[in-house]
Structure 1
Amino acid sequence: MKLEELFLKESEKYVEWIINIRRELHKYPELDFNLPKTTKIITDILESLNIEYKSGIGKSGILAELKGKNQNITIALRADMDALPIIENTNCSFSSKHHGYMHACGHDAHTGILLGVAKILSENRNHLPCNVRFIFQPAEETTGGALPMIKDGCLDGVNAIFGLHVDPSLEVGKIGIKYGAMNASSTGIEFKVIGKSCHGAYPSSGVDAIVTTAQIISSIQSIISRNVDSRDSVVISFGKISGGEAENIIAQEVTCIGTMRTISNDTKENMKIRLKDMVEMISRAYGATGEIIFKDSYTALINHDEYVDIVKENGNSFLGKENVFIETLTNMGVEDFSYYLEKVAGVFFVLGVKNKNEKIVAPLHNEKFNIDESSLIVGVKMQILNILSAYKKLENL
């Protein structure tokens, strides 16, 4: 029996086990780096499977590893563990017991899948061809748990890495892949316009910071249409403006806060220059002073095409070509798996969890979000196939 057939056959024994683990995790959602219940569930399972692990990686992450026959090759899988500050409204028997918190982005499913892979491989470790590292990461939804984990050595010795995310826009039994840029980078923008306050009846004696800001915001959108290659992608959105004291006083100061999403690092840096010029020069033209600061967040997630090929081929053979969706558009949302892919070759793909017949259709970050749990074993099997295929690729290098 081929190794792939062996592991896939073994996987069927643990379908209910994986579902139950996901449900247990779902009941106890926690936020950011504060994940005591979640990490206790995970470490208890790892101990029961006799898998060595280290906790407290990247503050509250967990790093576990199974040794294989060829210990010169290590392939990593990553799952994020944190939840969201949302009140659940699914009426599930395993709904959140932590009021105000919910696994509305499917990280309970990601962790359940990773534990499922660990369970199957540990039960068949004598057949494992290489080392497999399991990365349980905190804080994907907030400040980004990937970088602290990388700093603490989670990628040391890793040759390739795979990650996945549930996707409620895809029917269960399908996966989605993307060559090249899959997710955008994010940069926070904050600019301030300082004018001169005066009575609203005599605006000529002051400098109106609100009028100046309005002109800046309108003009900034022309940067995208006239300074960015039409084949590239940039999104600039401002979500908060504050300034002024009263309806009859010309505002002296206005602060505007927003975000910029880009795919190319070069484009991001060029956009910063143009935004700085726009804020400072328009302010000067109106007699005001303009200041701008940038806060870079997650980088763009760029898949390695040779590993996208691996997922595609495994999806074609396991699920059928009709169930492998090749995305052509970049998701302008962010994902901190990007940091792993900057250090190690690998791929991030999406797993269909939608089921119209069961009315499982709610989007991510929604109070009614849920998954078709038959997707869990699909994710487990895909990741096992990815490990075996990546090993063959790396062995032949």
Structure 2
Amino acid sequence: MEANGSGTIVNAEQIERKIVDIRRHLHQYPELSHEEFETTAYIRKLLEDAGIRIAAQYTLKTGLIAEVGGLQGGPVIALRADIDALPIQEDTGLPFASRIPGKMHACGHDFHTAVILGAAFLLKEKEHELPGTVRLVFQPAEEKAAGAEKVLRSGALEGVRAIYGMHNKPDLPVGTIGIRPGPLMAAADGFLVELEGIGSHAAVPEASVDPVVAAAHLVTALQSIVSRNVSPLESAVISVTRLNTGTTWNVIPETAVLDGTVRTFDEEVRTRVVERFGEVVNGVAAAYGTKANLRWIQGPPPVNNDADLAEAARRTAERLGIAVVTPKPSPAGEDFAFYQKRIPGFFAFIGTSGPKEWHHPAFDVDERALFISASYFAELASAELKRFASEL
């Protein structure tokens, strides 16, 4: 990486070229959640080569924390990027496609990482002007909804005034940013239900307690929670995505297993759905003589944007000439929400004109969005530090 005498990157044009190269390198070498060792080392070297200090006091097994600014004291804000990939075989045909069989950056975390690195490089160029500190959070394990809590346990958000993050959005055009106060992404919970019955020959079902029949009725009954316990003005999704039972055609099995996901945008609705879920599972199981074992897998809460931060984000976008839209909330989950439980946070959707949705083998982003996004987050961080410093 070319640098001037102080070790920092020289100009915006170099940064633009550099972050395209960074994104392509990361795309070729994806690492799954909790395995991001080479990715972490690569990010560390880029930051060190740019003269950006690593905040080594915040210990993470994978991922890292760095800082720009702080030369004048002042407030601390954070920018977050997630760095992990998915267990998907890539089918893009890109010249820089994944070199790791069965692993792919199919959710664009390579894009996110390159953007926040670009923002860091831009902020480093004017570090002496910053009236505070920008803490850079390169977070592992977002796809497992486990990385944010690791960052929180490290203490990296102690004393941080606000945190800012993003996700690429394939259905928004390049040059567009989706800004929405309040709920933006859903709480993403999971469930596993095991129904225990009594097996028998299929020709003598009266000798059994059939878990297959119970499971079939349970799939239908669970849908009544959304239709009859959640207001039409609210939102919830219950999807049974797997039903596993039996081994052959003429035997009634002893067990049936169902699992799936529940998505909600409001904590009160989330609590109500969880309560009714257990009641419906136990009621259906009892009605058909089976025993139910329910395991609830609590995921991240809803991404809920602070209204004041969202308005500040809108002002920055308009100042830079970036088109602002109000996106529909996404039923996908994001563990950025754990940060928002601790401190005010803002999460944006960045237009990338993608050909396919997240988690598709042919997922890609339009790289023109890289520098637009890096410039936006550098400007947003600088403006927010000034705003918070003026309130001290």
**Does TM-score exceed 0.5, indicating one fold?**
yes
Deviation at 1:96, TM superposition (A): 2.1
Provide closer, same or farther for how the CA distance between residues 102 and 284 of structure 1 changes in structure 2, counting only shifts above 3 A.
closer
Once the two structures are TM-superposed, the CA of residue 205 in structure 1 deviates from its matched residue by 2.9
RMSD: 1.9
Counterpart of 1:216? 218
SS of 2:27's partner is helix
Shift of 1:143: 4.4
Task: Name the structure 2 match of 1:49.
Answer: 50
Within 2, Cα distance between the matches of 1:237 and 1:367?
22
Q: 1:376 to 1:243 in 2, by over 3 A?
A: same
Residues of 2 paired with 1:146 and 1:167: CA distance?
A: 21
The residue aligned with 1:344 is: 343
Q: 1:250-278 CA distances to partner (integer Å, 9 max, x unpaired)?
A: 33321211111112222222222212111
Cα deviations by residue, 1:279-335 (Å, 9 ceiling, x for unpaired):
212222222222322110122111101111111122222125xx21112x3211101
Distance 2:312 2:196 in 1: 54
Q: Is the 8 A contact 2:67 2:135 kept in 1?
A: yes
2:24 aligned with 1:23, yes or no?
A: yes
Structure 1 regions of 5+ residues with no counterpart?
1-8, 355-359
Kept after mapping to 2: 8 A contact 1:159/1:344: yes
Tell me the amino acid that sits aligned with residue 155 of structure 1.
L
Aligned to 1:3: none
Q: Which moved more, 1:63-72 or 1:44-53?
A: 63-72
Long gaps (5+) in structure 2? 1-9
Conserved? CA contact 2:145–2:335, under 8 Å = no
Deviates further, 96-105 or 125-134: 96-105
Shift of 1:124: 2.2
Q: How does 1:238-257 map to 2 (within 5 A)?
A: 238-257=240-259
- The aligned counterpart of 2:326 is 326
Q: Decide whether aligned partners of structure 1 residues 21 and 206 sit closer, same or farther in structure 2, where only a CA change above 3 A counts.
A: closer
Deviation at 1:142, TM superposition (A): 2.2
Normalising by structure 2, we get a TM-score of: 0.92
Please give the per-residue CA displacement for 1:330-380, whole angstroms capped at 9, x wherever unaligned: 2111011111111111200011111xxxxx522222222222212111111
The letter of the residue matching 2:363 is: F
Work out whether residues 68 and 130 of structure 1, in 8 Å CA contact, stay in contact via their aligned partners in 2.
yes
Aligned to 2:371: 377
The aligned residue for residue 388 of structure 1 is 382
Q: Helix, strand or coil: the match of 1:192?
A: strand
Name the structure 2 match of 1:5.
Answer: none
- Normalising by structure 1, what TM-score? 0.90
SS of the counterpart of 1:122?
A: helix
Q: Displaced runs of 4+ in structure 1, greater than 6 A?
A: none
1:69-218 counterparts in 2 under 5 A?
Answer: 69-218=71-220
1:258 counterpart SS class: strand
Distance 1:170 1:78, change over 3 A: same
For the residue of structure 2 that corresponds to 1:290, the secondary structure is strand
Could you say what secondary structure the match of 1:77 adopts? strand
Aligned counterpart, 1:353: 352
Find the aligned partners of 1:198 and 1:367 in 2 and give their Cα distance.
Answer: 43
Mapped partners of 1:251, 1:242: distance in 2? 11
Given that 2:188 and 2:262 are in contact with CA atoms closer than 8 Å, whether structure 1 keeps it comes out as yes
